Every structure is written in structure tokens, then in C-alpha cells.
Structure 1
Amino acid sequence: MEQISLSASDIFGSDEAFVFSRAELDIRRPPQLHVQDFHEMLWVQNGTVRLHTQTGKRDLNEGDLLFISPDQPHGLQGRRAKGAHKNDEASMVVSLAIRPGVIKAIGNRHDDLSGVAFWGRGIEIAHRDIRQLAALNQAALQLERSPRRKLFLEAFILPLLIALDRPPEGLSPDAPDWLISACTAAQNPDVFRNGAAGFVAATGRAHPHVSRTMRRFLGITPSDYINTQRMEYAARRLTGTSDPLAEIAADCGLPNLSHFHKLFLASHGETPQRYRRARQRELVQPRP
């Protein structure tokens, strides 16, 4: 299929790091796919949108987020729900086109972005729930009112990138999306406080299936993974607060202090008390 090419030289002003726009989509299928020589992020604000690529089509719903790298043929089409009236609310997307070179520079500074968003496989899709979408729209409103410079673009995009699900260290990008999402969720005390059961609940899968999948992709059990998250959280609390050990252990979901000590010692090679004294004292008053 013949393609339409969009060039950054036709889109960006001489001093613009980004171009922000909103558009209602035609419900007719795009006659051609298009490619561009710049990165673009867009999300579905209202309705349903059909994404066309060279390999097929996929319907996107409100809150779905696209990260499109250069030279990726694609097209967008508005979709009406069955029985919808022609005067019903149109499908709308919000687009953020980013000047060439900006995304590469961000990726060069942050290795943690490997495999995420623009640093993925060409066109990456993520989803924002109702609360996350509201926060994204609020941030976008502020960006829309800002000067079109890189500083303001990065202030908008970096918090979003941090919040996206990403394969934890040691986990292949080929791991199932549900496992990646659960590993991200497991960093939250509300999840790891409930132990392996909390992790399994975050996956929405049966415990035996979760255990087999984790062994395949991480080589550990859900309990091992959760305990690692607990001890990393405990270490941060020990260094950054004066909270009692019993309180920290309880917040980790480990009210048994003896068990908490055992896990912390195995994870960090020091008791919680020694770890706290050393990190807090040596940071504020280093030894010669």
C-alpha cells in the first residue's frame, strides 16, 4: 500500500521541541497509512479508535496510549459503537509530536527506559485507568499552556515514563504483560503487605500458573519476589526515617520481628539496626 510521509521540517517550528494537538477522527478507513521521521505519543481521549498497521488492525479504547517511533506505518480511524447515533460524541485523540533527537537524548541519559515506550518495538501500547487518565489530561493541559521547549516537554513526559509498566531487572521483555504489570504492582506496600497472595491477586491468574510462569521468566517463586520487594522497601524506611522497627516490619506485612530480622539479614547481609546506624550516621557525619 502506498504511504504518506510526514516530515519534521513541515511540522515543527524552528524553536519548537514538540507540537501538541487534539483531533476528532473520521470514521472512514484511512485510504493510506502514513509514516513520519519523528516520535509521537497519542492517547484515546474519547470513544474507540482503530489502529491500522501493515500487520493488521487493533481497536483502542479510552485511556489507551500509543508510543510511535519514526518510520512505523500506521493509520487511525474513529469507531462508533453498535447502535450509536451519528451525533454521538466522536472519537478523539490527543497527540504529542516530538522533535527528532529529543527522545534519543532522553534514552541516552536513562538506561532504565530500555524496552519501554519509544524504546520498545516500534509501536508500543499502554493503558491508563480512569484515575491515571485524569492525571495525564491534567498534566497535558499544563503542557499545552507551556512554551514549546525541551524543559517543559521533559517535565511532562518523564513522570509518565516512570509510571509505565516495565520488565523488572532480569525479566525478559517477552514475559507476559500480566506478569510485568504484577511485578510493577508488587512494589506497592498495599500489594506486598499481603505476601505471595497479594502478588497472585494482582495477576488475576491461578497461583500454580503464576508460580510456573515466574520460575520460567525469573527463576524464583512469588514469595521470593515479594520478600525482595519488602526488604528493599524496609531498607529505604530504615535509612530515611526514624520509624520503629516493629512499625516498618508491620508495614511490610511481617508482624513477626524475628522473621523480619531473618529476611533482612539474608537480603542485605546486616541486621536492620546495624544497617540503619551505618547508613544514617555515615551519610551525615562520614568517618575520615
Structure 2
Amino acid sequence: MLQTDLSASDFLPAGEAFQLVRATIDSRRPKGLIRRDFPILFWVQNGAVRLHTAEGRTELKEGDVVFLRARDSHALQARAEESMAVLLVFDPTLIDRLSDRHAALSERFFWSSDPTPVRVHRDIRQLSALNQGALRLERSRRDALEVEAFLLPLLASLLDGSGMLPPEAPDWLARACAAAEDPRIFREGAAGFARIAGRAHPHVSRTTRRFLGKSPSEIINAQRMAYAAKRLTGTSDTLAEIAADCGIPNLSHFHKLFRAHHGITPQRYRKAHQKDLIQPG
């Protein structure tokens, strides 16, 4: 099999930290693979694409995002008319330093030790946000700061769990997880999750446990407690007001959930995150 070798210097002029490429994919079977010394983030913008790697073939659909590590030889092949991908080539040194600075990235995304590249899926709304970020990046200074401003929010959103759904998870589950971040949904509890999923509650529960290892209630409560933490540090609202706004009118239950998620009581959380910024201890 033919193999083409590419170096970061082929794509990155001196001083530039990334290069963005928008490409219409050829439908012909590739004659070989591309070997690189730099990582690539790419996503399927339109159509369907087959990813060829040394480990085999992976079928990708619109919204699929792939983290190709420097060691992942690859080639792309269109599997539908007008298939298009957006590819971001990164300075390998910059990507290495990101994982050194952020322990949460260890063994994830570009830094995974799995045999095959990490793949995640973005729904229509998330894909639109990704494209907006790419457009801004394309018009930027092309330095390390701009790369981090694009990458870190994306990686952080994927680490919250909902973005790490395996590609085989149904689209309705991805949509429900994204919608569960909205207070109008999580105030309804698990019933709101099932409603937005558009499926019967038992089926939703089985599916969330299969793909996320959590029940709908656990997913909703995680969103509620993240929201509560923001309200505790960002407002002077009472605990009763915050609990009610989370959809938990029982204050005792709210305390129990908050402590289970954050390890301390709501009062101590607020004090720890507010007081030291106002007055010396």
C-alpha cells in the first residue's frame, strides 16, 4: 500500500499554530494512507465519509468529529455526493503542552492510547457552534492563544459526559442530553428528560444506562447541581430560591443532592467561593 509522509512544516508557516482546510472528499478508494507528524481535528460537514486507518475502516456521518493523533495514518473517502470535511492541522508541540497543563485531558481525545482515534458526535446545534468557532479561528491571528480559545471550550464541553456519547448512541439521546442543560427542562426532572427525548420513560432509562451508565434522574440531577453551584457563587439568592429554581422545592433533598455532587453543603460552597474574593480571611 502506498504511503505519503507529511510534516507540520508542510502546512504551518513559521509562527503559525494551525491551518484550516475545507475539502470536498473524493469518492474514489484511496490508494494508500497519509502518515503525519502532527495531529488533525476534523469533522464531517456534509454527507458521509469513510475513514481509512491502519486498523481498518470507520463510517462517519454528518456531525461526526474525529481526533487524529500524529501516529494515526489516515485517508478519507466520500460515501455520499458532495461530502465535505473541515480539517484543522495543529502544531504538535502546542497540543502536547495542553495535556501537560490539563490533567483532565489525560488519555482522552488527542492523548488517548486506544488503537483507533477518538470519535464523538455533534448534533445540528453543536455542529453550528463548531463551525462558528472555526470561522472565527480562520480569521484570527493563527497563534497558540487562538488555538486554545477554540479547543479548550470544545474539550471541556465533551468532558461533561453528554458530549462523550459513543457514535452508535441514538441521535435522540444526544439531543436530550444537550436539552437537559436548559433549566426549563431539568426543572421537570426525569419526566422532562423523557419528554424531550420523545420516547417512553422505561426505554429512555434503559438507553441512558446502556450508553452513559446513568439513569435519567442522575443526568438531570447533575445538571441541576451544576446550575445550583453557579447560582450560589453568582447571585445572592436564598437557598430556597435556588432549590426551587432547580425544580427541587424540598430544601432537605436539595441539600442532600448538593452535598453528594460537590462534597460540601451549599452554604459552605457559597462561603468558600465568595468570601475570599471580598475580604481577607
TM above 0.5, yes or no, is: yes
Q: Please point out which of 72, 97, 103 is paired with 1:105.
A: 97
**Corresponding residue number in structure 2 for 1:37:** 37
- Stretches of structure 2 lacking an aligned partner (at least 5 in a row): none
Q: 2:154 aligns with which of 154, 160, 167?
A: 160
- Out of 22-31 and 110-119, give the one that drifted further: 110-119
- CA distance, structure 2, for counterparts of residue 49 and residue 98 of structure 1: 22
Q: Structure 1 residue 144 and structure 2 residue 147: aligned?
A: no
CA distance in 1 between partners of 2:218 and 2:99 (Å) = 31
- Contact map agreement 2:179 2:185 (CA 8 A) in 1: yes
Q: Distance in 1 between matches of 2:208 and 2:142?
A: 48
SS for the counterpart of 1:255 is coil
109-118 vs 177-186, greater mean Cα deviation = 177-186
Displacement after TM superposition at 1:14 (Å): 2.4
**Structure 2 residue aligned with 1:72:** 72
Alignment of 1:105-254 (within 5 A): 105-120=97-112, 121=114, 122-165=116-159, 178=169, 189-190=183-184, 192-197=186-191, 206=203, 209=206, 223=217, 226-227=220-221, 229-254=223-248
- Verify: 1:9 aligned to 2:9, yes or no: yes
1:118 deviates by 1.1
How many angstroms does 1:221 deviate by?
6.3
Following the alignment from structure 1 to structure 2, what is the Cα–Cα distance between the partners of residues 271 and 71?
46
Tell me the distance in 2 between the aligned counterparts of 1:126 and 1:35: 22
User: Cα offset for 1:148?
Assistant: 2.5
Q: Residue 118 of structure 2 aligns to which amino acid in structure 1?
A: E
What are structure 1's unaligned runs of at least 5 residues? 82-89
Give yes or no for contact 1:51–1:58 (8 Å, CA) kept in 2. Answer: yes
Identify the range of structure 1 (193-202 vs 71-80) with the bigger mean alpha-carbon deviation. 193-202
TM-score, structure 1 length as denominator?
A: 0.76
Are residues 147 and 199 of structure 1, via their aligned partners in 2, closer, same or farther at CA, if it must alter by over 3 Å? same
Confirm or deny: 8 A CA contact 1:200 1:210 kept in the other structure: no
Once residues 233 and 252 of structure 2 are traced to their aligned partners in structure 1, the CA distance between those partners, rounded to angstroms, is 20
In the TM superposition, what whole-angstrom CA distance separates every residue of 1:102-122 from its partner, at most 9, and x where no partner exists?
110111111112233212235
Aligned identity (percent) is 52
The answer to whether the 8 Å contact 2:22/2:87 transfers is yes
**Whole-Å separation in 1 of the counterparts to 2:148 and 2:53:** 28
Question: Residue type matched to 1:164 in 2?
Answer: L
The amino acid of 1:53's aligned partner reads T
Q: Which moved more, 1:114-123 or 1:14-23?
A: 114-123
Note the C-alpha offset of 1:213. Answer: 5.3
